[in-house]
Amino acid sequence: MNPWPYPTHIAHRGGGSLAPENTLAAMRVGFSHGYRMVEFDAKLCGDGSIILMHDATLERTTDGTGRVAARPWGEIARLDAGAWHSSAFVGEPVPRLASVARYLIANGMLCNIEIKPCPGRERETAAAIALEAQELWAGAAVPPLLSSFSERALEIAGRVAPELPRGLLLDEPAEGWLLRAARLGCKSIHLNQRHATPERITTGHQAGFRLLAYTVNDPARAAELLGAGMDGIFTDALDRIAVAR
Ligand code: G3P
Ligand code: MG
C-alpha cells in the first residue's frame, strides 16, 4: 500500500462538536484535545476567495443570509460564525484558507481539505483550492490531503496539483467504487462509517487504497473500525475519543 503519513484520529470540521465548525477557534480546540490532524470544508465565496464553510448558504453557521457564492469576502469577513454554537465563541469570524494554513503549519498540525463546491462551481473551486493549497503548503514535510464527494472536483484538483494526495468521499459504495477511485488517481477512500465493513476495508486495501471513515462519534465503533484496519476516523467527539499517544 502507499505510504501514509497521516494520523488515525482526525478532528471533524476542526473541533468536532466542541467548537463552531470550520473556524480557527475549532482548530485550536482540536489541538488542545491532542488532535494533530483536522478535516475542514472549503469553498469559494462570491469574489473567488477560498473560505471555510460547509453549507452553500450562510444561515446555519453565521448571522448572514443568502448564498455564499453571492457574497464577496469583504461581507463574509464581517459575519459572526461562532454565536450559533455558544456564547464562548461569539465574534468568531469565518476564516480564509490562508489563515488556517498558517495556524496549522505553525503548530505542526496536518489537515484534510474537503473541497465542497457550491452547486455548479466544481471546476473553479477545485482548481483554486488545489493551486492555493500547493502554494500555502509548499515546502511542508506532509502535504494536505484533498478530498471531495465531487469526482469532477477531484479530477481537476489532480490536474492542477498532481503531487497533492486525494481521497474520494463516498456515502454507500456503489458498484465500481474501487475502479472509480483508481481512475481518479486517489490514494484514499473516505466512507460513511455506516457502510464501513471489514470486507470493504480488506478489498480497499487489496486494491491499494487507504480507508477512512466519517463521522465516528461512538468510542466503541471507533475502536472496532480501527481494530479492523481502518486507516483513519473523522470524529466530532474529541472529548470522548482520545488520541493514541
Ligand atoms: O470529510 C468527511 C466528512 O466531513 C464528509 O461529510 O458533510 O461532514 O462534510 P460532511
Ligand atoms: Mg467535511
Digit-coded pLDDT (tens) for 187-225: 999 999 999 999 999 999 999 999 999 999 999 999 999
78-130 per-position pLDDT tens digit: 999 999 999 999 999 999 999 999 999 999 999 999 999 999 999 999 999 99
Nearest residue by C-alpha to atom 6 in ligand 1: 214
Q: Is the dihedral of CA 134, 14, 125, 45 positive or negative?
A: negative
Residues of the chain with pLDDT > 90: what percent? 98
The pLDDT assigned to 23 comes to 99
Bin 162: left if φ > 0, else alpha if -120 < ψ < 50, else beta: alpha
**Which chain residues have CB less than 5 Å from ligand 2, an ion?**
41, 114
Phi, psi of 41 (to 5 degrees): -105, 135
Picking from 58, 18, 51, 52, the residue whose alpha carbon sits closest to that of residue 34 is 18
Which atom of ligand 1 has the smallest separation from the CA of 114? 1
118-158 per-position pLDDT tens digit: 999 999 999 999 999 999 999 999 999 999 999 999 999 99
Catalytic residue among 9, 12, 33, 190: 12
The pLDDT assigned to 1 comes to 76
Bridge partners, 96 (sequence order): 51
Any atom of ligand 1 within 6 Å of the Cβ of 39: yes
* pLDDT beyond 90 at 244: no
The ligand with the least distance to the CA atom of 167 is 1
Phi, psi of 117 (to 5 degrees): -65, 145
Q: Reduced to 3 states, what is the DSSP secondary structure of residue 10?
A: strand
Does 12 qualify as catalytic in the annotation?
Answer: yes
Does 54 qualify as catalytic in the annotation?
Answer: yes
State mean pLDDT over 234-241: 98
31-45 per-position pLDDT tens digit: 999 999 999 999 999
Give the pairing of strands 50-52 and 9-11. unpaired
The pLDDT assigned to 245 comes to 62
Are residues 95 and 76 in contact, defined by beta-carbon separation less than 8 angstroms?
Answer: no
Distance from the first to the final alpha carbon of the chain: 24
Q: What is the mean pLDDT of the chain?
A: 97
Any atom of ligand 1 within 6 Å of the Cβ of 217: no
Expressed in angstroms and rounded, the spacing between residue 22 Cα and the centre of ligand 2 is: 9
Q: Reduced to 3 states, what is the DSSP secondary structure of residue 37?
A: strand
- The CATH H-level (homologous superfamily) assignment of domain 9-235 is Phosphatidylinositol (PI) phosphodiesterase (3.20.20.190)
The pLDDT assigned to 206 comes to 98
Picking from 163, 32, 24, 172, the residue whose alpha carbon sits closest to that of residue 104 is 24
Any atom of ligand 1 within 6 Å of the Cβ of 40: no
The pLDDT assigned to 120 comes to 97
Probe target for ligand 1 pocket from 17, 38, 41, 52, with the most ligand atoms within 8 Å of CB: 41
Joined grid coordinates for residue 184:
481518479
Quick one: which H or E segment has residue 110?
A: strand 110-115
Expressed in angstroms and rounded, the spacing between residue 150 Cα and the centre of ligand 2 is: 12
Any atom of ligand 1 within 6 Å of the Cβ of 41: yes
Give the pairing of strands 210-214 and 9-11. unpaired
